[in-house]
Homo-oligomer: A and B are copies of this chain.
């Protein structure tokens, strides 16, 4: 089940798709065979790669494409009154059965200009899909790329947790973000619905309001916790108080007892009684080093006495690098007190609070001691660039190539249906992507291939490929899915492979990454430029 099913329907589109559909139909071109390419022009986040996501959502959309009667009634209301009634009968017949959809495998790294998806079918039907497909690909790919960039910054060992639901752009903004952050490289989400719908691991501990809700020990109605193995009853609160006194005597904490909040200790005890095996405490409500960590160590030692082990602590404010290092020092000291406290040395520290790619890199430089990041706003809203500019362009109609001209060369489309390849070098990394005319012979490994920049005449290179991969597969034909769709975890694995095994480090680095080359064959270059000149009008200056 897909959580956004109810919204992804034919009317989730721009009105002009419907007016254009009517105009195509009215003037008789609606059934002309057409080819549309979905691609973007610029990698997001000032980077040099993008992760392609949202393909399954697009295919499910096409699979379920049917105007309902109430949709058609609504369209009747918004089209001019004199619209012909047989148009509405035509709309009723529309579905995905005459479409063929090729696409890059979901989760692949992708680059500007190369079609992510190519849709062939009757002109008007293809046109109707534009907005929904762009909506489904743009944000999914953007947020997956963002997550992959956070993963690059954090390295492979740290846990990355997505905590963005409350700041996401609506319920579905949150759900989409949780799903595609997971495939992009996050380990888990706080979003329970995403866990239920997609099987993503969910994680969460407690909020400041939980800590604030306990002011004094009197508010604790239950204090007992049985020993994990002997089952012997104990008073966890009393035990924690005793541990706190003991630990404060062991080494110079520099805190006086009036600074250590009893309300906080009470809240920790309440949480530990509920979750003795998975105790993880938020320790920054009062003061991390003068209250939170003292209470956390106290309750952790009490739990240890009763056969349980704490899972860690979370800080959500302050200087995360400094605090994590101070916490690690405390934990190492505690570990040094008794052999059985050894586990304290590696006590997990979770950090949250306005984390972005740059924060993680800065924390890395400061050699932080954080084990997991909880990331919200910057991740799910893609603060640095909140939209990917995928476009959906007509490239052929009735077997004739079509070109969208523009005075801005970057905006010119590459006409015609194309075959696309990824060319790999000896070291196993991808060298460039190559687009060719549909009827050209396939390029072969270990033969010289002339690759040209699509617009800059002098940029040419001969490439000797050690491996060549065709980029597109047919996913939909004759009204059905023609390829098995990967699971979410398979896509996640593919993202990881695609970024780490096929993409060279210099394309991924944060500062001034090397652009990955996207090229065309000699024949496509010649065709593109001849066709461009043929279509561009000749002006007159004086």
Contact = CB atoms under 8 A, between A and B. Distances in A.
A165 interface: yes
A387 interface: yes
B195 A131 contact: no
A170 B170 contact: yes
A285 interface: yes
A194 to B, nearest CB: 9
Contact of A537 (B190, B213, B261): B261
A307 interface: no
A502 interface: no
A417 interface: no
A15 interface: yes
B167 A170 contact: no
A28 B222 contact: yes
How many of chain A's residues touch chain B, expressed as a range?
A: 35 or more
19 contacts: A7-B175, A12-B175, A12-B192, A13-B191, A13-B192, A16-B204, A16-B205, A18-B192, A19-B275, A23-B274, A80-B275, A80-B277, A80-B278, A127-B210, A172-B173, A259-B537, A286-B405, A377-B389, A381-B386
Contacts of A28: 221-222
A220 B170 contact: no
Nearest to A537: B259
Contacts of A205: 16, 19
A465 interface: no
A57 to B, nearest CB: 9
A317 interface: yes
Given A29-B214, A258-B538, A377-B389, 5 more contacts: A20-B210, A78-B202, A127-B207, A136-B171, A318-B407
A151 to B, nearest CB: 20
A305 interface: no
A169 interface: yes
Given A3-B6, A212-B404, A213-B29, A204 B14 contact: yes
Top-9 shortest CB links A-B: A172-B172, A15-B204, A16-B204, A28-B221, A381-B386, A23-B274, A169-B169, A134-B166, A170-B176
Interface in A1-60: 3-9, 11-20, 22-29, 32, 34, 36
Interface string A168-212: 111111111100000000000011110110000011111111101
Nearest to A54: B170
B394 A213 contact: yes
Contacts of A123: 213
Given A16-B206, A192-B12, A538-B258, A27 B387 contact: no
A521 interface: no
A382 B169 CA distance: 10
A154 interface: no
Contacts of A220: 27
Given A12-B192, A274-B26, A275-B19, A139 B82 contact: no
Nearest to A13: B192
A139 B209 contact: no
A169 B202 contact: no
